[in-house]
Structure 1
């Protein structure tokens, strides 16, 4: 795994983040705004697994770009405390 970087929710993602992942991040951030979730202290973390980006939000939401270019988004299970 290659270490990446962190940035705040609402800030511009690093240049290394592929466009399709940026779209997924923007969509997730819009959902959080629509739900009026306070994300002022939340950050995204970018890492690389097998040269593909993995972006994780502080709440556990994870966005991955797969080898075929597809994007998956996994949210934490609210019942899994």
Structure 2
């Protein structure tokens, strides 16, 4: 599992903050990320086609922001378009 969070130096920052080695921070981040990912089916629900269209229309009406399916804490996540 390959991961990247915020900046390339995130492990150094985490290790320094927690007072552990970079390798310990790396293992901890990997383990925690895998646990979070294992809970995805319980907490992440993708909209059905009709819901997605409705959500996209609402975002466009409110802010002229095109092709929005869902939002997570107001964070923009770029994806490769499937079309």
TM-score (norm 1): 0.29
Higher RCO (C-alpha under 8 Å, 6+ residues apart): 1
Bigger strand share: 1
Bigger helix share: 2
